[in-house]
Amino acid sequence: MIVSVYQRSGLRMLGRYLPVLISILLVACSGQPTIEPLQLQAVPWANGERSTYEIIDLNDTFAGTATIEFTKEATHVEGDAWTMRREVAAQGDQEVVVVEMSAVGLRPAFSALTRMTGSAREQVNTTYSSGQADLELTTAKDVTTYERINIPSDARDQRTLLALVRTLPLRVGYATQVNSFLPVANLLERTTIQVIKQEQVETPAGTYEAWLIELRTPDSESQAWIATGAPYRLVKFIDGRTGGTYSLQAYEAGQ
């Protein structure tokens, strides 16, 4: 068989790029997304933005409401900062979470959780510094303990992940990963964030064109719908651990 110069050149090129082609095919066949570096854009919310959600439980029954509010101030952050306040009132219990974070990178500096169950009150305060989180835990019996946890320096407070998603360059197929820490459970995990598709979603506040996003951890999978237009509102969320569904009920843009 006679092989021309051009054929030999083509074979050499094929041999050079064959491993790359095989790698691409394997990724495509495995269904694993291509992970992009975490790059946050400017926050899309304004000072005083407030979103209210209705909560539906696993039995498709109304369980309560949740509100998320952003204010452009903080007491534990030097320079530009944001404070996120989340309040959940469901099935007789109330939980308030406040997280103070830097305006650039949304890195946490301080968080406070207060949980009321009947007349019992529990509180967890967390102070973040590079590579560690200092916890102050007060039980319902008014017993306070202290704990220091080593965490990655790039870890975000888990309660702010849905806000962080709003700042990402979302598009179909986009995927990234982020380290997160949940102080109340002493839980450190790596979350994969992936845009699955664009679709319409109905909520009590209206119908939105939204990105359907999966948030996967080693032991859970949650879904979030982020409106495709600014300010990229979180319009729906299904919590993979509790099964609760949060749907936007009312929205105030702030200023």
Residue-wise pLDDT tens digits, 125-140: 999 998 999 999 999 9
Please say if the pLDDT value at position 10 is more than 60: no
For residue 29, what are the contacts with CB-CB under 8 A and spacing of at least 6?
A: none
pLDDT of residue 32: 76
Give the CA-trace dihedral at 134, 48, 80, 44, to 10 degrees.
Answer: 100
Please say if the pLDDT value at position 16 is more than 90: no
Average pLDDT over the chain, rounded to an integer? 89
Percent of the chain with pLDDT over 70: 88
- Cβ(135)–Cβ(147) under 8 Å? yes
Distance in angstroms (rounded) separating the CA atoms of residues 123 and 138: 5
Structure tokens, 12: 């050499």
Binned at pLDDT 50, 70 and 90, residue 105 comes out as very high
Hey, is 161 helix, strand or coil?
helix
Please say if the pLDDT value at position 117 is more than 60: yes
For residue 75, what are the contacts with CB-CB under 8 A and spacing of at least 6?
A: 100, 110
Distance in angstroms (rounded) separating the CA atoms of residues 42 and 105: 9
pLDDT of residue 13: 40
Pairing status of strand 175-182 against strand 156-157: parallel
Distance in angstroms (rounded) separating the CA atoms of residues 176 and 95: 29
Hey, is 89 helix, strand or coil?
strand
pLDDT of residue 130: 86
- pLDDT, mean of residues 234-251: 96
pLDDT of residue 92: 84
Please say if the pLDDT value at position 9 is more than 70: no
Q: What is the DSSP letter of 190?
A: E
pTM: 0.86
pLDDT of residue 33: 86
pLDDT of residue 31: 61
pLDDT of residue 119: 86
pLDDT of residue 91: 82
**Phi and psi angles of residue 187, each rounded to the nearest 5 degrees, phi first:** -110, 115
Closest by Cα among 159, 65, 156 to 112: 159
Distance in angstroms (rounded) separating the CA atoms of residues 190 and 38: 12
- Cβ(35)–Cβ(175) under 8 Å? yes
Binned at pLDDT 50, 70 and 90, residue 23 comes out as very low
Please say if the pLDDT value at position 3 is more than 70: no
pLDDT of residue 94: 95
Please say if the pLDDT value at position 79 is more than 60: yes
- pLDDT, mean of residues 155-179: 98
Q: Which residue has the higher pLDDT, 10 or 181?
A: 181
Distance in angstroms (rounded) separating the CA atoms of residues 56 and 244: 6
- pLDDT, mean of residues 50-61: 96
pLDDT of residue 49: 98
Pairing status of strand 108-117 against strand 93-102: antiparallel
pLDDT of residue 17: 45
For every residue of 2-62, DSSP letters joined together read: ---HHHHHHHHHHHHHHHHHHHHHHHHHHTPPPPBP---------TT-EEEEEEE-TTS-E
